[in-house]
């Protein structure tokens, strides 16, 4: 599998780059994700986007810090809340938006939708709609890397609620037992859909769960991209030495669980508080204070993000809907004798001649 993202990602700390440049690059990506997600919500309201649509609003710092710590060859497995991860991994907003629109130019050719973004070149190995489904898979990818003695690591992102799925525990045990190069990341946004961490996890300090598997772990402020980046680099170094790691990033989900959720379980005050404490604004203020970000730069970055998002919408809108004739193209990877390729209502065999009559028609496969 080749592994070059199509768009450059922010410089890594190893690169000869000033802290200010990195900080600014993080900010740029956070703004892009923010604007993209806001536009996705609008696209949903306009019925351009269907299905379930979960946004990274409020979690941009975690997303950007994590993705920046990866090497191009590393593998990423994510939950259904995956738009930001795809963007920060360097996939073009056009192809992500086209997937949300269900079009042929989408990253998954319109077969996945919002929850199932996949890009083989970026080694984004999928967003997964089944809570926890990605965790054993990512563990297996790490097994393959270890098996071949590769230098890559696997990053497996999931939500806080996912740590209560059996597969999470089975996978942490396997990864630790088998010394796999994997970082399990719990993006703790405090909520499942509406259930709190305290209401669902008997040990709400989620990073401590690693200790049951003699696995190293750490909790980091998920609203600070620089802190997340540094922690992710530590975790990945650990993983590359053959020891898995559990990293908990504590963040907030600004809006509902998905775009259709009005978040009625939050009070008006809580909602106001969330917006006031928004990580993106806080990060902008920090950068302004340190004179890294000027008013002009803020405006320029925002305009560039808006332009990229607008372009992604135009691209998605112009991309073709997949043709019905392609319906049977992806059931199996290889040609299959006797594969059933029938549309609803089609008979198994064409109207048969009676015994003795001759028929010109042939049975479909």
Distance of CA 63 to the CA centre of its chain: 9
The stretch near other proteins (CB under 8 A) out of 5-13, 64-72, 173-181, 228-236 is: 173-181
Determine the size of the site formed for ligand TPP (CB under 6 A). 15
- Tokens 């620089």: give the residue: 226
- Regarding 354 and contact with other proteins (CB under 8 A), the answer is yes
Could you tell me which residues come within 8 angstroms of residue 309 by beta carbon, excluding any fewer than 6 positions away?
A: 32, 35, 36, 39, 93, 97
Positions 218 through 277 that interact with ligand TPP (CB under 6 A): 257
- Regarding 140 and contact with other proteins (CB under 8 A), the answer is yes
DSSP 196: B
- Tokens 């019905």: give the residue: 324
Cα–Cα distance, 239 to 145 (Å, whole number): 11
Residue 131 interaction partner, one of other proteins, ligand TPP, Mg ion, none, beta carbon < 5-8 Å per kind: ligand TPP
Q: Which two tokens stand for residue 277?
A: 């404490």
State which residue, 69 or 191, has the beta carbon closest to ligand TPP.
191
Residue 297 interaction partner, one of Mg ion, ligand TPP, other proteins, none, beta carbon < 5-8 Å per kind: none
Positions 288 through 347 that interact with other proteins (CB under 8 A): 329-334, 336-340, 347
Least distance between other proteins and beta carbon 107 (Å): 8
Least distance between other proteins and beta carbon 92 (Å): 16
- Regarding 191 and contact with ligand TPP (CB under 6 A), the answer is yes
Residues 253, 255, 260, 264, CA torsion sign:
positive
- Regarding 130 and contact with ligand TPP (CB under 6 A), the answer is yes
Estimate the share of the chain in helix, then strand, then coil, as percent rounded to the nearest 5. 45, 10, 45
Contact assessment for residue 5 and residue 89, using Cβ atoms and an 8 Å cutoff: yes
Nearest to 141, CA basis, from 1, 6, 332, 331? 1
- Regarding 161 and contact with ligand TPP (CB under 6 A), the answer is yes
Least distance between other proteins and beta carbon 167 (Å): 5
The stretch near other proteins (CB under 8 A) out of 43-51, 85-93, 118-126, 259-267 is: 118-126
Residue 143 interaction partner, one of other proteins, ligand TPP, Mg ion, none, beta carbon < 5-8 Å per kind: other proteins
Positions 28 through 87 that interact with ligand TPP (CB under 6 A): 79, 81
Going through the chain in order, the beta strands assigned E by DSSP cover 75-79, 124-128, 154-159, 182-188, 216-221, 245-250
């Amino acid at each position: 599998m080749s592994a070059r993202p199509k768009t450059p990602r922010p410089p890594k700390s190893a690169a000869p780059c000033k802290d200010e440049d990195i900080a600014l690059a993080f900010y740029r990506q956070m703004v892009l994700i923010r604007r993209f997600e806001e536009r996705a919500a609008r696209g949903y309201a306009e019925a351009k986007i269907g299905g379930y649509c979960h946004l990274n609003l409020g979690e941009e710092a975690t997303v950007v810090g994590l993705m920046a710590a990866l090497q191009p060859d590393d593998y990423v497995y994510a939950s259904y809340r995956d738009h930001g991860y795809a963007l920060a991994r360097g996939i073009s907003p056009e192809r992500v938006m086209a997937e949300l629109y269900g079009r042929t130019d989408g990253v998954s050719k319109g077969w996945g939708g919002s929850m199932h973004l996949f890009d083989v070149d970026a080694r984004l190995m999928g967003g997964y709609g089944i809570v926890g489904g990605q965790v054993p898979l990512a563990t297996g990818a790490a097994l393959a890397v270890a098996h071949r003695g590769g230098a890559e690591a696997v990053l497996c992102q999931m939500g806080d609620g996912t740590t209560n799925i059996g597969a999470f525990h089975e996978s942490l045990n396997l990864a630790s037992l088998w010394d796999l190069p994997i970082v399990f990341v719990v993006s703790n946004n405090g909520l499942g859909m509406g259930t709190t961490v305290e209401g669902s996890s008997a040990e709400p300090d989620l990073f401590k769960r690693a200790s049951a598997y003699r696995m190293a772990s750490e909790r980091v402020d998920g609203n600070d991209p620089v802190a997340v980046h540094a922690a992710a680099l530590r975790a990945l170094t650990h993983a590359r030495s053959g020891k898995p790691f559990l990293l908990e990033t504590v963040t907030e989900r600004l809006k509902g669980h998905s775009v259709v959720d009005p978040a009625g379980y939050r009070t008006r005050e809580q909602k106001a508080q969330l917006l006031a404490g928004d990580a993106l604004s806080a990060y902008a203020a920090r950068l302004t204070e340190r004179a890294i970000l000027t008013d002009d730069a803020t405006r320029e970055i925002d305009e560039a993000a808006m332009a990229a998002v607008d372009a992604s919408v135009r691209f998605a809108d112009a991309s073709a809907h997949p043709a019905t004739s392609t319906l049977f193209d992806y059931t199996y990877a290889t040609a299959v004798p006797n594969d059933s390729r029938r549309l609803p209502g089609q008979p198994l065999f064409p109207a048969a001649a009676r015994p003795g009559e001759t028929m010109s028609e042939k049975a479909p496969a």
